[in-house]
């Protein structure tokens, strides 16, 4: 294993970890609009801009819709472009979130996850991320501020790769991650600069010698082929993400994967989850391990593209899997992540039992007790007791 170049020790919140990564990336353009709990990213980065620590031009837009619209214009012009948002802000810009991906623009956006209205609520859940899960963005999830920092840097390389050219969203839990100060180990500026390199797009709008038309009317005779190209780009992303992970490993000495296991090698009972709940689940798994129960946790780092064979590989030897979803999917059979995991196993002759738990909506705390109950359910199911497949965690009747 390589020696880590994450040598600068800092006390950063998740939001400030994102801002610090952005400072080191030094993008050409950042267009952003304030919304809680994303605001500390915009505020910290604005300080960097106004103190002359970056070369970035900031566009302090009048809405999230205009934030993403300006990002599209900027990225189409060949500028490295970033933004950040949360919840209703993402909902407002969703039209352009799709356009950004479909125009194949490598924008990087930090999404600080927050519940969608109504009722209005500023706290964490993943309903915002799930709203745009089919929009064509690559989505990287972050367990903590360290992940936010590293994912944001890797996102630039993944997005701009010539075989991908898709925007990337880096997720972190609102308040839980974004506003909690942790120890974060960062690179020196030069390491980041060398890793991300210079952005040299093949086509750009400002090349007046070679005029291009971006965003034409595309009807039934070509639209479908262009969508197919997007599917191919997502397919390519699966390979490219792995390559970037490997390259990044050389700088950090850590290993990265689409799905990262914690004590899963011999585990009978595994919780699959993403973002900050991974940490809580690890704590409970350790507790059960000390009692001789073979518990483990599978952390989702890459939610889009979702790679079924990778998750099957990690879960196939377990007896029961519990998938945690922090977003409602009204009218569906269990949560979105649950359905992805369950569907991944359809063709497998041997498969674990799989349970769905919806938790933490609107920032409701996910307690250690709740996860003890989840592991308890898994054991009961394994010993022949009847357990509901679809459940909520921590909600009053």
Partner 1 sequence: MVNLKEIGNKKIRLAPGHRLCPGCGAPIIAKLAMLATDYDIVVADATGCLEVSTTIYPYTAWRVPWIHNAFENAAATMSGVETAYRVLKKKGKIKKDIKFIVFGGDGGTYDIGLQSLSGAVERGHDFLYICYDNEAYMNTGIQRSSATPFGASTTTDPAGRVRPGKQEFRKDLTAIMAAHHLPYVAQASLHNINDFLRKVKTALETKGPTFINVLSPCPLGWKFDPSKTIEISKIAVETCFWPLYEVKNDEWILNYDPGENKKPIIEWIKMQGRYKHLLKPENKWVIEKAQEEIDKRWQWLKKRCGKG
Q: What would the x/- binding string for partner 1 be over residues 20 to 49, using CB under 8 A?
A: --------xx-x------------------
Using CB under 8 A as the binding rule, whether residue 56 contacts partner 1 is answered as: yes
SS3 category, 159: helix
From CA 219, how far away is CA 121, in angstroms rounded?
Answer: 40
Q: How far is the CB of 93 from partner 1 (least distance, A)?
A: 10
Contact between 321 and partner 1 per CB under 8 A: no
Distance from C-alpha of 277 to C-alpha of 291, rounded to nearest angstrom: 22
Angle between helices 14-25 and 39-50 (to 10 degrees): 40
Q: Which stretch binds partner 1 (CB under 8 A): 59-67, 252-260, 294-302, 309-317?
A: 59-67
Taking CB under 8 A as the criterion, the residue among 51, 55, 265, 397 binding partner 1 is 55
Q: How far is the CB of 216 from partner 1 (least distance, A)?
A: 4
Alpha-carbon gap, residue 139 to 156, rounded angstroms: 12
Q: Please give the size of the binding site for partner 1, defined by CB under 8 A.
A: 42
Among 43, 99, 122, 387, binds partner 1 (CB under 8 A): 99
Alpha-carbon distances, residue 358 vs 123, 171, 309, 337 (angstroms): 16, 18, 24, 10
Query: Is residue 1 close enough to count as binding partner 1 by CB under 8 A?
Result: no
CA distance 25 to 258: 23
Segment near partner 1 (CB under 8 A); pick from 94-102, 236-244, 378-386, 389-397: 94-102
The reply on whether position 60 binds partner 1 by CB under 8 A is: yes
Cα angle: 159, vertex 138, 100; to 5 degrees: 70
Residues 6+ apart with CB under 8 A from 378: 268, 269, 319, 320, 321, 322, 353, 355, 387
**Which residue stretch of 43-51, 112-120, 139-147, 206-214 sits at the interface with partner 1 (rule: CB under 8 A)?**
206-214
Q: Is 228 in the site for partner 1 (CB under 8 A)?
A: no
CB of 86 vs partner 1, minimal distance in Å: 19
Could you say whether residue 309 binds partner 1 (CB under 8 A)? no
Radius of gyration from C-alpha coordinates of the chain = 21
The tokens for 376 are: 């308890």
Nearer to partner 1, 73 or 279 (CB): 73
Shorter beta-carbon distance to partner 1: residue 42 or 59 = 59
Q: How many CB atoms lie within 10 A of CB 239?
A: 12
Minimum gap (Å) between residue 130 Cβ and partner 1: 23
**Structural element, H or E, at residue 232:** helix 223-252
Of 24 and 358, nearer to partner 1 (C-beta) is 24
Question: Which of 54/315 has CB closer to partner 1?
Answer: 54
Select 97 or 176, whichever has its Cβ closest to partner 1.
97
Q: Is 211 in the site for partner 1 (CB under 8 A)?
A: yes
Task: Tell whether residue 222 is a contact of partner 1 (CB under 8 A).
Answer: yes
Show contacts with partner 1 in window 68-87 (CB under 8 A).
Answer: 69-79, 81
Please tell me whether residue 331 binds partner 1 under the rule CB under 8 A.
no
Strand order of the β-sheet with 138-141 is 57-60, 29-32, 81-85, 108-113, 168-173, 138-141, 302-304
Kindly give the pairing relationship between strand 295-300 and strand 353-359: unpaired
Q: Is 50 an interacting residue with respect to partner 1 (CB under 8 A)?
A: no
The 8-class DSSP code of residue 207 comes to -
Tell me the Ramachandran region of residue 18: left when phi exceeds 0, alpha when psi lies from -120 to 50, beta otherwise.
alpha
Q: Residue 289 burial (CB < 10 Å; 0-12/13-18/19+)?
A: middle
Q: Would you tell me which residues interact with partner 1 (CB under 8 A)?
A: 28-29, 31, 55-57, 59-63, 65-66, 69-79, 81, 95-96, 99, 205-208, 211-219, 222
């Amino acid at each position: 294993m390589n020696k880590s170049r994450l040598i600068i020790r800092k006390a950063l919140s998740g939001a400030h970890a994102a801002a610090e990564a952005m400072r080191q990336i030094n993008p050409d353009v950042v267009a952003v609009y304030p919304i809680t709990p994303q605001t500390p990213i915009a505020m910290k980065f604005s300080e960097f801009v106004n103190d002359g620590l970056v070369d970035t031009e900031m566009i302090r837009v009048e809405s999230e819709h205009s934030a993403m619209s300006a990002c599209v214009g900027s990225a189409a012009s060949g500028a490295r472009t970033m933004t950040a948002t949360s919840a209703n802000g993402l909902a407002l810009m969703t039209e352009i979130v799709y356009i950004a991906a479909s125009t194949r623009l490598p924008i990087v956006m930090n999404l600080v996850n927050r519940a969608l209205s109504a009722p209005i609520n500023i706290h964490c859940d993943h309903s915002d991320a799930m709203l745009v899960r089919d929009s064509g963005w690559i989505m990287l999830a972050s367990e903590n501020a360290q992940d936010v920092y590293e994912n944001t840097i890797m996102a630039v390389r993944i997005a701009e790769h010539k075989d991908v050219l898709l925007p990337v969203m880096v997720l972190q839990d609102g308040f839980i991650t974004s506003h909690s100060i942790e120890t974060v180990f960062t690179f020196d500026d030069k390491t980041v600069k060398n890793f991300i390199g210079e952005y040299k797009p093949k086509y750009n709008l400002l090349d007046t010698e070679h005029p291009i038309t971006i965003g034409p009317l595309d009807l039934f005779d070509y639209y479908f082929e262009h969508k197919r190209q997007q599917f191919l780009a997502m397919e390519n992303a699966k390979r490219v993400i792995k390559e970037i992970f490997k390259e990044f490993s050389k700088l950090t000495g850590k290993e990265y994967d689409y799905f990262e296991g914690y004590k899963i090698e011999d585990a009978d009972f595994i919780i699959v989850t993403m973002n900050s709940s991974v940490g809580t689940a690890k704590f409970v798994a350790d507790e059960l391990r000390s009692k001789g129960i073979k518990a483990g946790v599978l952390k989702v780092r890459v939610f889009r593209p979702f790679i079924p064979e990778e998750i099957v590989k990690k879960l196939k030897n377990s007896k029961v899997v519990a998938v945690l979803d922090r977003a409602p999917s009204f009218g569906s059979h269990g949560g979105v992540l649950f359905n992805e995991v369950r569907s991944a196993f359809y063709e497998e002759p041997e498969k674990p039992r799989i349970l769905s738990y919806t938790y933490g909506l609107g920032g409701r705390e996910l307690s250690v007790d709740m996860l003890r109950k989840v592991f308890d359910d898994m054991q009961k199911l394994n010993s022949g007791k009847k357990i509901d497949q679809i459940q909520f965690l921590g909600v009053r009747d």
